[in-house]
Amino acid sequence: MPHQHICLPFDSEAHYQACVQDLTAFRQHLAKLQAAHPELFPSSFAQGFTFHDCYRSRKLKLTLRRIKLKQTGAVFTLRPSFVMPYLVGHTNDLERALYLRQWGVPFAALAYVFGRDAMFWYRAWLSLGRANLVGTTVKSAAAMPLNLLADEKITWVKGQEVAVATTAAAGCFLGVTVVAKDDTAGLQTAYDEFKQEAQQVFADYQPRSVCTDGWAATREAWRNLFPQIRLVLCYLHSVLKIAARCTGELRHEVMTRVWTAYQAETKAAFAQRLRRLHGWASQGLRGAVAEMVLKLCRRRRDFSVAYDCPGAARTSNGVDRLLNYLDRLLYAACYGHATTTSSRLAVRAMALQWNFHPYGSRLRNQDRARVSPFADLNGFVYHDNWLHNLLIASSMGGLKL
């Protein structure tokens, strides 16, 4: 079971083999890692443990140690990050092939270039989606975002339309799943998965705000799950509806006035600018353009909520960018071919790969502190290699037992 495996970094395979042979050195290495990163270990680990037994992988010619906690009696397998889950291979042998999945390279193409077969690469990649998404991505309560964004993307599984309900913050996926219907009941079930995963890791977690588009079912689902949450309406969606209804000089003038209102620094200033925009639109605009501008002004209260929540998103750009990434990969795969269950694991694998993918060299050259979305959120990495980093972060399935 994934949550019974503790995945840890070692300096090298030789270092790991030396620890396996010398239990004193192994214990010292575990104590050092536990002091630096207690979130990778069970909470009762500090109360002591004994080395329980060994497991020998004939395929990888590797011995894995298991420990038994003194306080609870629970047994955990210690797995080095240089081997993949389920011991399907060495991480360094699979890392470059799985890296290409970030661009949706087909599994058959990976098999052609890197050997094995397409199903091997499919299963190895899909296994990345089994860990708790929140617990793997967010490693401390202080780093857990309180201001969220949520939206859905329509896609297909075996020709049937489904929705991919997504929760995001700080450039990372925090929740993603597949549901058959995008009505209130369906979306409440979908976003409840995020709630359950978040509260598995941070028991008292309650988000402060969520920015959504105007879809009523989305907003009602979040209100039902978190009664105290503040719902922020995405300003950009209203602006795009206005922009689609005018051209030329009129469009330039309307967009200038609309975005000037958005740039107000206080709630009072925002309200004042919308009143001026309403008066101008009532006198100077006609038809569909006037209708959309006046509608934007009437929704002032839904936009103004963001001023009451410092750090709240005012547009859904932060989740739309991530959904565009998902949509490109789903399009490249010709959407889902099997079941909703496997499609759910697939979008979760896509999400975790995004959270841990290394930034391109151009960005890293501009700012060497920028490594990956995970590093931006948490302020550190466990390992310089993205896949090692992901595997270590998913220790115990991303849970804090």
The strands making up 49-57's β-sheet, listed across from edge to edge, are 5-8, 75-80, 62-69, 49-57
Q: Is the pTM of this model over 0.75?
A: yes
How are beta strands 5-8 and 75-80 bridged, if at all? parallel
Question: Do 133 and 175 contact (CB within 8 A), yes or no?
Answer: yes
pLDDT at position 214 is 87
pLDDT at position 368 is 73
pLDDT at position 37 is 94
pLDDT at position 2 is 56
What end-to-end distance do the CA atoms of the chain give, in Å? 13
Beta-bridged to residue 155, according to DSSP, are 162
**What gap in Å lies between CA 76 and CA 6, rounded to an integer?**
7
Domains in the chain: boundaries: 1-80, 89-228+335-385, 235-308
**What gap in Å lies between CA 13 and CA 62, rounded to an integer?**
10
CA atoms within 13 A on the CB side of 327: 14
CATH class of the domain comprising 89-228+335-385: alpha beta
**What gap in Å lies between CA 376 and CA 383, rounded to an integer?**
14
**What gap in Å lies between CA 351 and CA 95, rounded to an integer?**
17
Q: Would you tell me how many other CB atoms lie within 10 Å of the CB of residue 345?
A: 19
**What gap in Å lies between CA 364 and CA 352, rounded to an integer?**
20
**What gap in Å lies between CA 374 and CA 388, rounded to an integer?**
13
* Successive 10-residue mean pLDDT values, the chain, 401 residues: 83 93 94 94 92 90 94 94 94 96 95 96 95 96 96 93 96 96 94 96 96 94 96 95 91 94 95 95 90 94 94 95 95 88 95 95 78 95 96 93 71
